[in-house]
């Protein structure tokens, strides 16, 4: 059948443009609830390990805008209270929201209560697990993998939760690409030492730096500029960002 396309699209065009419906056009109501479902500025792996007398975390400082290495000085490890550290992979703005929420709901309430008690690391961790799981059930997840490290009353703590609300506690921790490349290195070292209680702080630092080098060589979203954080009886320390020495003259490169 022959159609006069000029007559169809020009001489007989409808006057009510709202009534025009094209094939496969999706109708979306104006009051539809919408959420951002894709992370924009993201950070990669977080690594953590327990050692004798404390817990240590490390991360690089890169914030990737898609595949662009856009922000090179992001701090992805934050102190929460006097006993806990929270670190995150994933969407950086969601991490900022989480830290602000913890400051308002946990730290400020402890301060206002003025009863000489603070939320311990394991309680802070369980609070975060509930937040992540609740947001997942609302189909509006916080796009992060979170690591909580703490030390109180001689008891170290290291836990993980993510955007699905999945959670577990372990002696070593790795998120992002580190879960594939760094986690085996961490576990092997712990086995060789006969447990985390036989690992010194200096050994833990050297091990994490080794893992960060491995990730820098193989993860396109990583950077050799990193931060270390420790929590122990002596308190919490977060280092200034520093660069790891790298070597690119290997024949294989």
Model-level pTM greater than 0.85? no
Residue 162 makes CB contacts below 8 A (sequence gap 6+) with 132, 144, 145, 146, 175
Told to judge if 36 belongs to the known catalytic residues of this protein, a careful annotator would answer: yes
Q: Which of 36, 44, 61, 246 is catalytic?
A: 36
Q: What is the pLDDT of residue 25?
A: 42
Burial class (CB in 10 A: 0-12, 13-18, 19+), 224: middle
pLDDT tens per residue across all 253 residues of the chain: 444 544 544 455 555 544 444 443 444 455 555 565 688 999 999 999 999 999 999 999 999 998 899 999 999 999 998 999 999 999 999 999 999 999 888 877 777 777 777 889 999 999 999 999 999 998 889 999 999 999 999 999 999 999 999 999 999 999 999 999 999 999 999 999 999 999 999 999 999 999 999 999 999 889 999 999 999 999 999 999 999 998 888 777 6
Three-class secondary structure assignment of the chain = CCCCHHHHHHHCCCCCHHHCCCCCCCCCCCCCCCCCCCCCEEECCEEEEEECCEEEEEEECCEEECCEEEECCCCCEEEECCCEEEEEEEEHHHHHHHHHHHHHHHHHHHHHHCCCCCCCHHHHHHHHHHHHHHHHHCCCCCCEEEEEEEEECCEEEEEEEECCCCEEECCEEECCCHHHHHHHHHHHHHHHHCCHHHCCHHHHHHHHHHHHHHHHHHCCCCCCEEEEEEEECCEEEECCCEECCCCCCCCCC
Contact 113, 105 (CB under 8 A): no
Q: What is the pLDDT of residue 36?
A: 58
Which residue in the block uniquely carries the two structure tokens 């009051």? 31
Give whole-number Cα distances, 79 to 33, 102, 107, 237, in Å: 34, 10, 11, 9
Phi, psi of 173 (to 5 degrees): -145, 140
Q: What is the pLDDT of residue 20?
A: 45
Residue 166 makes CB contacts below 8 A (sequence gap 6+) with 160
């Amino acid at each position: 059948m022959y159609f006069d396309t000029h007559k169809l699209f020009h001489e007989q065009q409808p006057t009510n443009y709202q009534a025009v419906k094209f094939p496969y056009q999706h109708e979306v109501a104006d009051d539809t609830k919408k959420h951002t479902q894709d992370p924009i500025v993201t950070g990669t792996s977080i690594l953590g390990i327990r050692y004798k007398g404390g817990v240590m975390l490390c991360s690089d400082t890169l914030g990737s805008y898609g595949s662009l290495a856009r922000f090179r000085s992001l701090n992805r490890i934050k102190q929460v209270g006097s006993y806990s550290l929270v670190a995150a992979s994933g969407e950086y703005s969601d991490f900022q929201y989480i830290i602000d929420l913890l400051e308002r709901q946990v730290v400020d309430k402890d301060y206002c209560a003025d009863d000489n008690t603070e939320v311990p690391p394991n309680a802070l961790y369980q609070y975060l697990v509930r937040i992540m799981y609740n947001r997942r059930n609302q189909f509006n997840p916080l796009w992060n993998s979170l690591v909580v490290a703490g030390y109180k009353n001689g008891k170290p703590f290291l836990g993980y939760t993510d955007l699905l609300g999945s959670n577990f506690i372990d002696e070593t921790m790795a998120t992002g690409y580190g879960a594939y490349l760094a986690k085996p290195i961490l576990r092997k070292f712990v086995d060789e030492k006969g447990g985390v209680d036989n690992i010194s702080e200096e050994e833990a630092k050297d091990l994490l730096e080794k893992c960060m080098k491995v990730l820098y060589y193989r993860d396109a979203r990583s950077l050799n500029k990193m931060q270390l954080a420790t929590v122990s009886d002596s308190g919490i320390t977060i280092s200034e960002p520093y660069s790891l020495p790298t070597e690119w003259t290997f024949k294989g490169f």
